[in-house]
Chains A and B, each alone.
Chain A
Amino acid sequence: MVETVGPMLDAPIAGQSLTAEVGNRPWQNPPQYSTVEEALEYYIPRITNPDMLNNLFDVMESGIPLTTIANAMQTAGAMEGKHTLDVGILILPILIETMAYLADESDIEYDAGSSVDMKKDTPTDASIARAINKVRKRQGEETKEEMLPEENMVEELNTEEELTGGLMSRRATNGI
């Protein structure tokens, strides 16, 4: 199952469906095409129309997956009351396959969008940067801890030298 990456911020507001009279929306009325075949008879001539096809190829070349394009098409059809959402979802594979066929026929590169992304488990650049920062911080703390005793030793040595370094200072008792 495809998991959502981020929070769904484009979800409808609770009660949004009750802001219009029941039956005023096209999708609340009986659909124009009630079967898969009828819906396909509506879509296929539109997809294969040369004007539409050029726009479709532009969208495909821009890297948008075929699954996303087909889903947008069928959602728009359901919103216009052309067919039900069920029929829309049923015809999705046929729309995707048809678009793939047309793209292959015209040597257009496309992303089918129906294969599982194997690179999903690889960490993002941001997470790698965060991990590196963490390691650096930890290493920095460790080196500080290691450095501290040495610094104390140096300070101790300095104090000893200060005690014995003066001209008028006492000589060391064990010296003579």
Chain B
Amino acid sequence: MYNVGFQAMNNLAMPKEKQPKKEQSTGLLARNVNNTPNTEEEDVRQRVARYTNEIRKARMELKNG
């Protein structure tokens, strides 16, 4: 039988870990002041991937002690 769970699990694009951004000085005279706020809305699939990733991380921590 066609296993939907298998497909859903294997086709899940896990979120890549974002590297911490270097803190830039926010002074008025500082270079490259980024005023645009981060308005990226998460897609449903991204949200699901994030939830799954969080639970997986907790499971791995449980396994590794």
- Interface 0/1 of B37-63, CB less than 8 Å to A: 000000011011101100110110011
Q: Is the CB of A71 within 8 A of B62?
A: no
How many pairs, one residue from A and one from B, have CB atoms within 8 Å of each other in the complex? 73
Total interface residues on A, CB under 8 Å, equals 28
Distance between Cα atoms of A158 and B65 in the complex (Å): 87
CB of B33 closer than 8 Å to a CB of A: no
- Let me know if A89 is at the binding interface, CB within 8 A: yes
Q: A91 near B59 (CB under 8 angstroms)?
A: no
Mark A69-95 against chain B: 1 for CB-CB distance below 8 A, else 0: 011000000000000000001111110
Which single member of B5, B10, B47, B56 contacts A36 (CB below 8 Å)? B47
**B52 pairs with A94, CB closer than 8 A:** yes
Check if B28 is an interface residue, CB within 8 A of chain A: no
For the complex with contacts A71-B4, A93-B49, 13 further pairs of A-B residues with Cβ separation under 8 Å are A2-B7, A67-B3, A70-B5, A71-B5, A91-B48, A92-B5, A93-B52, A94-B55, A97-B55, A104-B62, A113-B6, A114-B5, A114-B6
